[in-house]
Amino acid sequence: MSTPSKQQLIAHGLVFPEPQHSIANLASRLHGCSSPCPPLQHPKLARLEQAKTVILLLIDGMGCQQLQALSPKGWFLRQQPLTLTSVFPSTTTSAITTILTGQPPSVHALTGWHLAAPEVDAVVTPLPMTVRYRGEHTPDDIATIAQQIYQTPSALNGARRQIVLQPPYILDSAYSLHHGGEAERYGWPSYEQLFQQLLTLVRSASAPQFIYAYIPDLDSMMHHKGTTHPRARQLLQRIEALTAHFAANLAGEDALLCVSADHGQLDIPPARLLQMRDFPELAACLRQPLSGEPRVAFCHVHERDHAHFPALAAAQLGHAAWCLPTQQLLDEAWFGANASARLAARVGDYVLLMKDDWGLLDSPADAPRPALLGNHGGLSAAEMQVPLVMVDGMKAAIPD
């Protein structure tokens, strides 16, 4: 049966990573690394290679549509010269790894909150590094699993000083330690202390330095409360006000501040968040649980069911998802160019790409339904489009 091509999906309104203006291009420019993604070009980045301090403040989940909804006249939108796209899948695991390695998902092959990893015979969650599903040959030692999963080196290496600012609870995770490379690592216990740390680092700099500062809280808030909840609005506007105050204090400093996000979010009504266990005939075709995200699910299918899986998926889930062979995604470079040998095995045989505001989970039979309103991973504009805010301290007006 025929499946829609990339061009047909674009005509349907889906947004794919821009080849010149995605967060992968931003990462390539920030790190100056060898990457299949060309470095991002924009006049406001002209001083990037000369600035003593370059800061990337990454606000997880802050897509362009979230900014328009939560702070339509705010400082971020007034300072935004450029809209970028996320990577595919538009999820923290894939996007943050791109930011920290300078490589697209085609190269680093971390493709979702849940990752099918044949090299350890398991489905794992790469960020907290836990095991979702164990096969017969899955190592018992989590450190051994992590060593196999994280194959792409960090871009936070080299001659200039590298600094990572993260919440303390993720600072020393296996993921952070690998992808932080040679960077100095500092935890921030409050937003006020984060921005004070940044200002101190800028003013004390004696040599070139790159600072990566990460705020995860908006994403978490929207997952649980939704993208337009008053508490999400309050949180975003608080972060925005503190960032604007910090930017004003950069005036006269040899520093370039970039503010962006890894992805946006889309609300899924509870009735549209489906469970694979409610489709037992389809679930029986899988040789392991779904991987990926609620908005893009990768299916590893039994060989006996390979031929009829697309028709069965169309019959049972066609109202909510497209079923595409993952080879099509690889051929059309959805994940980016120069695909690693690991990628095809990790994304399996078919992908269920969710339509509109539908989602699909593969929770264990005895697990309660998760309170998951905001979601991402798919190709809607709400998930894919993120802002790039830039402030050059040398060109900023010194406040009175």
190 lies in the same domain as 116? yes
Tokens read off for 229 = 């909840």
In a domain, 8, yes or no: no
Residue 279 to residues 56, 100, 282, 399, Cα–Cα distance (Å):
43, 38, 5, 61
200 lies in the same domain as 334? no
210 lies in the same domain as 290? no
List the end-to-end C-alpha distance of the chain, in Å, as a whole number: 67
d(CA 279, CA 276): 5
SS3 178: helix
Could you identify the residue written with the tokens 């909840």? 229
In a domain, 397, yes or no: no
Residue 394, Cβ neighbours under 10 Å: how many? Answer: 15
221 lies in the same domain as 363? no
197 lies in the same domain as 302? no
Name 59's bridge partners. Answer: 215
pLDDT in tens, 133-159: 999 999 999 999 999 999 999 999 988
Of 2-16, 229-243, 266-280, 366-380, the range with the lowest mean pLDDT is 366-380
pLDDT in tens, 58-84: 999 999 999 999 999 999 999 998 999
**What is the overall mean pLDDT for the chain?**
95
In a domain, 73, yes or no: yes
The pLDDT, as a whole number, for residue 2 is 72
237 lies in the same domain as 263? yes
Q: Report the predicted TM-score, pTM, of the whole model to 2 decimal places.
A: 0.96
Tokens read off for 128 = 């907290």
> What is the average per-residue pLDDT within 256-268?
98
283 lies in the same domain as 253? no
Residue 162 has pLDDT above 60, yes or no: yes
240 lies in the same domain as 97? yes
The pLDDT, as a whole number, for residue 259 is 98
Domain span at 284: 270-375
d(CA 218, CA 59): 7
Task: Determine the residue type at 52.
Answer: K
Which CATH number is 342's domain given? 3.30.1360.180
Strands 53-59 and 209-215: parallel
The pLDDT, as a whole number, for residue 261 is 98
pLDDT band at 368 (very low <50, low <70, confident <90, very high): confident
Which CATH number is 33's domain given? 3.40.720.10
Task: Determine the residue type at 259.
Answer: V
pLDDT band at 1 (very low <50, low <70, confident <90, very high): low
In a domain, 31, yes or no: yes
Residue 185 has pLDDT above 70, yes or no: yes
DSSP 336: -
d(CA 299, CA 133): 14
223 lies in the same domain as 279? no
In a domain, 400, yes or no: no
The pLDDT, as a whole number, for residue 198 is 98
The pLDDT, as a whole number, for residue 370 is 76
User: What percent of the chain is modeled with pLDDT above 90?
Assistant: 94
The pLDDT, as a whole number, for residue 177 is 97
Q: At what angle do helices 230-249 and 217-225 cross, to 10 degrees?
A: 170
288 lies in the same domain as 332? yes
Nearest to residue 263, comparing CAs of 66, 111, 25, 6?
66
Radius of gyration for the chain, computed over Cα atoms and rounded to the nearest angstrom: 21
The pLDDT, as a whole number, for residue 390 is 96
SS3 162: strand
pLDDT in tens, 204-228: 999 999 999 999 999 999 999 999 9
In a domain, 2, yes or no: no
Q: Is 160 exposed, middle or buried (0-12, 13-18, 19+ CB in 10 A)?
A: middle
In a domain, 340, yes or no: yes
* Residues contacting 257, CB < 8 A, separation 6+: 55, 57, 246, 247, 250, 389, 390, 391, 392, 393
- CB distance 326 to 273 below 8 Å: no
In a domain, 118, yes or no: yes
200 lies in the same domain as 256? yes
The pLDDT, as a whole number, for residue 400 is 39
pLDDT band at 13 (very low <50, low <70, confident <90, very high): very high
Number of domains observed in the structure of the chain: 2
Give the chain's largest Cα–Cα span: 72
164 lies in the same domain as 28? yes
> What is the average per-residue pLDDT within 378-398?
91
Q: Report DSSP letters for 73-120, one per residue.
A: TSHHHHT--EEEE--SSBSHHHHHHHHHHS--HHHH---SSBEEEGGG
Residue 161 to residues 9, 55, 260, Cα–Cα distance (Å):
43, 12, 21
Phi-psi region of 358 (alpha: psi -120 to 50; beta: other; left: phi over 0): beta
The pLDDT, as a whole number, for residue 397 is 56
